[in-house]
Amino acid sequence: MLKNYFKVAFRNLSRNKVFSIINIFGLAIGLTTCLLILLYIVSESGYDRQNKDADLIYRTASAIKIAGQKQRAWAATSAPVAWALKADLPEVAASTRLMKFPGMDKMLLTAKQGNSRKQFYETNGYYVDSTFFRVFTYDFIYGNAPTSLDVPNSAVLSAEVAHRLFGDENPVGRPITIGMPFGNFEYTVRGVFRDKDLKTHIPAHFFLSIHNGDVGGRWVDNETSFASGNIFHTYIRLKKKVDPVAFEKKVAADIDKRGGADLKRLGISSRLFLQPLTDIYLHSNIENEIGPNGNANTLYILGSIAAFILLIACINFMNLSTARSGKRAKEVGVRKVMGAERRSLIYQFMGESVGMSILALVLALGLAQLLLPLFNTVVQRQLQLFDEPGVWMCIAGLTLLTGIMSGLYPAFYLSAFRPIMVLKGKLQTSFSAIGIRKGLIVFQFTISICLVSGAIIIARQLSYLNDQPLGFNKDQQIVLPMHNKEASANYTALKHGLLSIPGIRSVTSGDNYPGIASVNDLLFYAEGKTARDGMDFNLNAVESDYFKTLGLTLVEGREFSKNQQADSTHIILNETALRDLGYDPKTAIGRKIHCDFQGIPGIYSSMEIIGVVKDFNFQSLYNPIKPYAFTTSVGNKYSYAIANLAASDYAGIIQKIADVWKKVNPGLPFSYSFLDKDFQYNYEKDQRTSGIIRYFTVVTILIACLGLFGLSVFSAEQRTREIGIRKVLGASVSNITLLLSRDFLGLVCIAILIASPLAWYGMNQWLQGFAYRITIGWWLFPLSGLIAIGIAWLTVSYQAIRTAFTNPVKALRSE
């Protein structure tokens, strides 16, 4: 019997080649899409799970409320939190800290390799406690992980950085020099960890011991200040069987006991909360994250798209199987007369469906392997088809599920035929079957139109972000990092050299620039107020030509003079800062603002306002404009040199800039970036998501149109006699084409009405994540509908026109 089933299935495939190809190819595309998205989802969901006892490790983050401002979630805490939790709460098995030094995204690494010297700037270097590798699990190639940072001024390198510095040698015990704006410092390599395929929310290229001769001391070892220095990412490992919810309440009470008075004096309300380690990468998107995290919502969207694409492919199978039921009706009738039970017929048809799914899977594996490089380019990952062991089980389950989903309705529908009616030739398609078929077509195009609308809205929002005035000039600005004491000291000579190059309008320097993270901030309060009324201002130390070079607009007052020392107690604020202080921009010049953090270099108890700068977006357009202050003294104003270019010959002018750099800083490597590219990096995740949705929108429409094409072929076959008679009676080609197309186009119009409110709601929710966003115009949905109608008409009209040109004599003779 089984052999007979195989034989019948093979004959059915060979006799109906067009429909078989449509079904198998459609299912293959659906499975390919699911497979690629599944690989991405599994990869993104695996972050930080390599750590031993990962389910017991938590990050302690802060919810901070400053008087007069909204509550902010902050990924870091103050220095003493880690040791306080370990000392006070017995539930804590271990604690550790990671510090990302404010405003320093690169460090200069130098090491001797034979008779030569290797030197380059490297990103993602972090200071960590000696306990770091006792909390986190890293695979060490060289060195002993638990004790690698016990000695001050120790360094642990990634395999890639170690190879660049020392080649294939074991670097443990070798010295390296870390160059920073405030000096060059000697460290000793104590370990090398394997970074290939490492999935962690800490994208480290190297670690430095937090106890050292450069930043160790005042901030790191502070055991009393819970109100300032919130730059330490604090992690704890709990003992087993500790309830994290109950423990979180104890954390809040403990920190309130130790630091509540200081916080209250400054008008700050701070509550610590726990974030499970394995949730950080996908579910945390708060301020001062260590690196760019993933987004669980993106995975939900992609997972939904994959499910809908597979469902649409299954719907095609159902529609074509039920539509062509008359072709197999006699087979069902004969089998039933010969004694076949309905159950055995259901098994037969389900088996055929699963068999087609297996054929589709074979094709899907080939397509997935072929398309994987393109998919990796879109998602910016290096996924491998069978790297994840769990994917095999998912593929097997997915194939079986696809076969069952595709064959379930056709199997029950076909096996329900009454043999007497079938053998008498009185089989008629029920209205319910036709209704279900039409409903499934509407469902297919509803999903397709939602995706088309979403793709258009995402593209328009990203275009809006690119075109939105930012309040400064981001174009033709070249940025030179100077994260080294020697480079900072030579800035004046560098500036003179750059200004001598034709094609450079102006040169300036600053602690940071728009588009990169700005974590330097302080609490200021207005005249007649107290520290309890303090407001959080972002700070940027700048050189005199900063406003001119970046095109910032001063609405009142003046910018800093060439004599920087004379302006050391002066400050320039943006309009938002003045509004929060309650100052009128027209009368603000000469007024004072106050700060209670006099222990910080460059900060005075009172600072005089000498200028008001027009509001500008120093962060991405996800965020509203916040209070911002410029000084000449708080921070390192020589962290970055910025040159405004007038020439369009970038290659030539960059070479001239490099020549000046090498002349001024002969011992330092030359590195640069463009400000507009750095700013655009903030939108990289959404651009990636947009690209993925755009690709899969095309796939969805393709599969839906495959099914529509199959049904149009079947419809034309069913109406052969009618079309022949109409042509004999004088019907034109356009009349026949409209006759065969209008039913399908009507279903697409219904889909437009259903999809429009769904797409509006979904995309409106997505747009809420942007402080600056487009308005969804009503015309977008008719446009999406017209696109869907146009594609559907092209799909259906091809077969309709072909049928309309058929010789009516042949059509009637065949009947």
What digits encode the pLDDT tens for the residues 161-174?
999 999 889 999 99
SS3 62: strand
Radius of gyration of the chain (CA): 34
Its pTM stands at: 0.82
CA angle, 737 then 740 then 741, to 5°:
80
Distance CA 487, CA 673 (A): 17
Q: Side chain identity at 89, as an amino acid letter? A: L
The pLDDT of residue 547 is 93
Cβ distance 339 to 3 under 8 Å? no
Cβ distance 178 to 211 under 8 Å? no
User: What angle separates helix 431-467 from helix 296-323, to the nearest 10 degrees?
Assistant: 150
H or E element, residue 634: none
Cβ distance 477 to 674 under 8 Å? yes
Phi–psi pair at 509, nearest 5 degrees = -150, 160
User: What angle separates helix 720-728 from helix 733-767, to the nearest 10 degrees?
Assistant: 130
Q: Following DSSP, what letter does each residue of 109-148 receive, concatenated?
A: EEEEETTEEEEEEEE-EEEE-TTHHHHS---EEEE-GGGT
Residue that has been written with the tokens 């990203």 in this structure? 462
Which residue positions in the chain have pLDDT lower than 70? 1-16, 18-19, 67-68, 103, 216-224, 227, 321-342, 345, 389, 409-434, 597-604, 713-720, 740, 798-800, 802-815
In DSSP terms, 477 is beta-bridged to 644
Show the 3-state SS of 374-404. Answer: HHHHHHCCCCCCCCCHHHHHHHHHHHHHHHH
Distance CA 148, CA 83 (A): 20
Distance CA 183, CA 533 (A): 37
Which pair of tokens denotes residue 194?
A: 């394997």
The pLDDT of residue 340 is 62
The pLDDT of residue 362 is 87
Cβ distance 109 to 176 under 8 Å? yes
Query: Exposed, middle or buried by CB within 10 Å (0-12, 13-18, 19+), for 684?
Result: exposed
Q: Kindly list the distances between the CA atom of residue 288 and the CA atoms of 61, 110, 233, 278, in Å, as whole numbers in the listed order.
A: 10, 28, 9, 18
Q: What is the DSSP letter of 589?
A: T
Cβ distance 268 to 229 under 8 Å? no
The pLDDT of residue 198 is 92
The pLDDT of residue 440 is 78
The pLDDT of residue 600 is 54
Residue that has been written with the tokens 């599944």 in this structure? 38
The pLDDT of residue 575 is 94
The pLDDT of residue 140 is 96
The pLDDT of residue 810 is 61
Residue that has been written with the tokens 């443990």 in this structure? 172
Distance CA 459, CA 447 (A): 18
The pLDDT of residue 567 is 84
Query: Exposed, middle or buried by CB within 10 Å (0-12, 13-18, 19+), for 614?
Result: middle
The pLDDT of residue 30 is 85
The pLDDT of residue 563 is 76
